[in-house]
Amino acid sequence: MNPPPTAPPLTGLSSTALPRTASGPQPVHASVICVAAPSLAVSAEHGQMRGQGLEGFYQEGRRVLARCELRLAGAEPVPVQGTLLSAGRARFVAVARSPADAGPDPAVMVERLRDADGSERITVLNTGPIALRIPLEVALSTDLAELGAVAAGRAGPDLPASVCGSGLRWSHAGVGVRVTAHPAPASVLASAGLLRWDLSVPPGASRTFELRVSRESTANGAATSAPVRADRAPTPWSAAELSCDDARGDVLLRGSLDGLRALLLRDPARTVDVHVAAGAPWRMGLAPAEALWAARILLPLGTRLAAGTLRTLARLQDPDSGRIPGVLRHAGPQLPPSCSGVEATLLFVTVLAEARRWGLPQREAELLLPAAERCLGWLRTVTDAAGYVPDPAPGGPLRCEVQAHAHRAALHGADLLDAFGRPGAAAWREHAARLRGRFREDFWVDDRGGGWPAAALTPDGTRQLTHLGSAAAHLLDTGLLGGGALAPGLLDKVRTEQLARLLGAPDLDSGWGLRTLSARAPGHNPFGHRGGAVRVHETALAVSGLAAAGYEKEAAALLRGVIDAAGTFGRQLPEMYAGEQRAADRAPLPHPTACRPAAVAAAGAVHLLAALAGVRPDAPGGVVAVRPMSSAPLGAVRFSGLRVDEQPFAVRVSRLGMAMVEEAAPALQLGA
């Protein structure tokens, strides 16, 4: 096969361009980040918060404590380990020598248990033969800076502290914060921001202290204190479990769901509705496209997250245009920025249609139908004469993956309109059919090796941008329709087979997952978000799409690559990591500014594992199809705690790839 030829980058396609220089996020790949949205705590593995970089406790985008340094007898203990116990809790262990230590073994151990909610328990253990009398000091400070300013290196100076009860207090511009200690310190020095205890620890005994950060409100002229921890949103999905021959699958599922749970937020307009934040530490708020992707992928665990996310976004939808809000985002070296609102508006229709197939109650779906119809109205308005959707709209290039989103939205829109007896379904199916025909002519780049899909067309449709990347995987994500069947895609069988071959080739498959840009393309950068790094989410879409289309060899290779990479990153896969080629003496390289946990990466890991079973329900039709990966790349698996039609669902897949439904709603029939 000949390598894909390349074309120069498209320029001048959007009135909005990325700045030549910008203050970017600071490196966090070596940080320990505890998350309980909207709160987080960041430090290095040693556990000390020195106010450097992004270190500190945060809530709702503000650093409420920048410095929290511990010293014993005037010296820092020697750090031994810092690790996450869960997404919202970390443990740091350090040791120190005592005057009685005769050999090389330290007698004093210091443990710090830190929670994202703004609390920390410090325990000093004496394992030596004699009692210890030793001073313990904690140095504290804050700048009350906004997260964006800290990320850009523009944090303010330390604020002066005042003594407040058993701790310290700071305030600035109507915002206040205090740190209280229990038991109370022996002395508090406001000028140095210092709490001090004189410890007496008998042999084999320990002493524990707790620090707690709380915000203050100055309403009505009086300061009132409230804990940093916000009211935690309830978990809107089932307690799914995975039993697997390869134990790493279960570890990845549990870690991914833990990360998603830490990102849950309530909608302030209606607190019973929850959605996920985009990721920590940079994007701790609602990002519509990412929230919809996470809600869609977690449908096998129930429809509550999808329902809450859809209702939240329906309230934010522009009532006149029908567009879901979004922002410009970097699209790599070959294309101008894309608009996440385009993706979110198209994805809204798909999430509602597929949630209904998984069991979203008919009444709830019907209440959301007007918002979906407004999304379809927006799609009709922005579609050009050839049937394509520009991104940004209007005036942007015609991106390959956006046409896949638009085609899927048209078919899902028709599905919804038919289900509720609304007019227009036939027109949307005709629109999708015309789009399939045009796409195969306009977007396919022919060559003697079989060709490949172009990444984009110029806004006038006259020139192809022919680089190839993981965005092409969206062409395999055709969507779920009735009877457990998948919708037709933009590619025919021959072109789907060719795309499968391309996705399995080493210029795209790094061995750890799909690169966002082929290693052969100009501008390839292993650390480029859209220029060569691995994004878990798109790799997961490729795995499920390839498996559904029957190309299990390529799907299994990608799945095993991500599973192998996950071992490097512990409990949670980051938003992205470097697309360096895999080798026996290498591990995947972290991206220095990637979010972790990240909604789309954590959900993508769940999607990877769900592809092993291939459950495709049609709750309104009373059927479910199960299409497992016959190659069983992780051996025998059993999924339990899934939800279909609001009822428990469990399926077992043998090492031979044979599936057996073990638990399901009584009225649910196994589809062909």
Quick check: 588 pLDDT over 50?
A: yes
In the block, which residue shows the tokens 């220029």? 531
What architecture does CATH give domain 241-670?
Alpha/alpha barrel (1.50)
Q: What is the mean pLDDT of the chain?
A: 92
pLDDT category of residue 5 using cuts at 50, 70 and 90: very low
State pLDDT tens for residues 375-406: 999 999 999 999 999 999 999 999 999 999 99
40 membership: H or E segment, kind and range: strand 39-43
Total residues belonging to the chain? 672
CA 481 to chain centre: 26
Average pLDDT over residues 194-216: 95
Instruction: Report the alpha-carbon distance of residue 225 to residue 217 in Å, rounded.
Output: 7
User: Which token pair is 354?
Assistant: 């597929």
Sorted by where each begins, the domain ranges of the chain are 39-227, 241-670
Cβ atoms of 374 and 322 within 8 Å: the answer is yes
User: How high is the pLDDT of residue 103?
Assistant: 79
Average pLDDT over residues 282-309: 97
Average pLDDT over residues 35-60: 95
Q: Where are the alpha helices (DSSP H) in 504-551?
A: 536-549
DSSP letter at 505 equals S
pLDDT category of residue 20 using cuts at 50, 70 and 90: very low
Cβ atoms of 32 and 70 within 8 Å: the answer is no
Instruction: Report the alpha-carbon distance of residue 444 to residue 640 in Å, rounded.
Output: 41
Quick check: 594 pLDDT over 70?
A: yes
Cβ atoms of 537 and 401 within 8 Å: the answer is no
Using a pLDDT cut of 90, give the percent of the chain over it.
88
Cβ atoms of 445 and 453 within 8 Å: the answer is yes
User: How high is the pLDDT of residue 533?
Assistant: 98
Using a pLDDT cut of 70, give the percent of the chain over it.
94
> How much is the pTM?
0.93
Instruction: Report the alpha-carbon distance of residue 624 to residue 298 in Å, rounded.
Output: 17
State pLDDT tens for residues 422-445: 999 999 999 999 999 999 999 999
- Output the CA torsion sign for 400, 402, 404, 407: negative
pLDDT category of residue 99 using cuts at 50, 70 and 90: confident
DSSP letter at 51 equals S
User: How high is the pLDDT of residue 401?
Assistant: 98
Cβ atoms of 216 and 573 within 8 Å: the answer is no
Quick check: 31 pLDDT over 80?
A: yes
Of 184, 182, 28, the C-alpha closest to 120 is 182
Of 115, 135, 116, the C-alpha closest to 124 is 135
Higher pLDDT, 61 or 453: 453
pLDDT category of residue 25 using cuts at 50, 70 and 90: low
Q: Where are the alpha helices (DSSP H) in 142-242?
A: 147-151
181 contacts: CB under 8 Å, gap ≥ 6? 138, 166, 167, 195, 209, 210, 211, 212
Average pLDDT over residues 128-145: 94
Q: Where are the beta strands (DSSP E) in 332-451?
A: 338-339, 398-399, 444-445
Quick check: 289 pLDDT over 50?
A: yes
Paired residues of 623 in beta bridges: 618, 669
Quick check: 88 pLDDT over 60?
A: yes
User: How high is the pLDDT of residue 11?
Assistant: 40
Just give the CATH number of 39-227: 2.70.98.40
User: How high is the pLDDT of residue 97?
Assistant: 86
